[in-house]
């Protein structure tokens, strides 16, 4: 049973939103500026594309499924 592409996209964006919020908060607390927080936040968006393809590849792997 594999996820549909739209489900992988939704999971990718929801995970990245969570990580984006984390890094922006961490960046603001650490640097005390919104510029530093923004740089860390934007940097956390780039892995979104890697995660999506990672999910799609794992959907093709049958190991560990029923």
Looking at residue 29, its pLDDT comes to 92
Residue count (the chain): 66
61 near 26, Cβ under 8 Å? no
Q: How far apart are CA 18 and CA 16, in angstroms?
A: 5
For residue 20, give both structure tokens. Answer: 């984006």
26 near 41, Cβ under 8 Å? no
51 near 12, Cβ under 8 Å? yes
pLDDT in tens, 32-66: 998 888 888 888 788 888 888 888 898 888 888 77
Looking at residue 7, its pLDDT comes to 85
Q: How far apart are CA 5 and CA 56, in angstroms?
A: 8
């Amino acid at each position: 049973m594999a996820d549909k592409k739209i489900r992988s996209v939704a999971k990718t964006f929801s995970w990245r939103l969570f990580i984006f919020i984390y890094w922006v908060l961490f960046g603001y607390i650490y640097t005390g500026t919104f510029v530093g927080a923004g740089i860390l936040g934007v940097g956390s968006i780039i892995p979104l594309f890697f995660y999506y393809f990672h999910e799609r590849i794992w959907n093709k792997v049958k190991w560990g499924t029923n």
